[in-house]
Chain A
Amino acid sequence: GESVGLHLPTLSVQEGDNSIINCAYSNSASDYFIWYKQESGKGPQFIIDIRSNMDKRQGQRVTVLLNKTVKHLSLQIAATQPGDSAVYFCAESHSGGGADGLTFGKGTHLIIQP
């Protein structure tokens, strides 16, 4: 079946630097992608999503980039803050919005160093 993966289980960055978290997916039929943030003891929290007809989408301090040619997704966080420390998951769907369920990557733990 399809799989969604992340390149690094842990990413350590300096406070104030930009963070880039990467994700690779294998299902070329995937048409919807989401990034989630999960803080310790909490459920995943929606950050930003992107549909396959786009290659970039921006939110507040976050940007998602989609490269369908190489099946790669990235999340960029500008000016990383201590509150950004969490596990970040990418997720994908081939059912238009996840109505049949999302497939999640295994997560990258973002650590912020002072």
Chain B
Amino acid sequence: DVKVTQSSRYLVKRTGEKVFLECVQDMDHENMFWYRQDPGLGLRLIYFSYDVKMKEKGDIPEGYSVSREKKERFSLILESASTNQTSMYLCASSPGYGYTFGSGTRLTVV
């Protein structure tokens, strides 16, 4: 069965900390994505990647960066966490059509 695994379900971090959110897929998909989900705003695309070492900005990349050193792993980095980055973060992968999502990481920045 297709699987996207996000390493943490819940995280609490302090303002100014560097935060790493990890995502691993076991489907050999080229495309991977990071979204954040907020009440009333739905899912918004932060960054995506077509292939290893490639990355593209989504709709709301400010305050984030990403890393894709291996095909199966796509990391989201908050360089200096702020309270407005408190959110649910969802990772997804795709072979070209349709996405498979992970279960999400609920990040709270205090």
Contact = CB atoms under 8 A, between A and B. Distances in A.
A42 interface: yes
A45 B50 CA distance: 22
Interface string B40-82: 1111110010100000101100000000000000000000000
Interface in B89-108: 90, 92, 94, 96-104
Most chain B CB within a 10 A radius of its CB, from A1, A41, A44, A105: A44
Contacts of A103: 45
A106 B98 contact: no
Contacts, number: 63
Contact of A97 (B48, B98, B102): B98
Interface residues of B, number: 27
A102 B94 CA distance: 11
A34 B98 contact: yes
Nearest to A6: B42
A16 B15 CA distance: 48
A42 B104 contact: yes
Top 4 closest pairs, chain A to chain B, by CB: A43-B101, A97-B97, A104-B43, A106-B42
Interface of A: 1, 32, 34, 36, 41-46, 49, 89, 91, 96-107
14 contacts: A34-B99, A43-B90, A44-B99, A89-B42, A89-B43, A91-B43, A97-B94, A97-B96, A99-B96, A101-B33, A102-B43, A102-B45, A102-B99, A103-B45
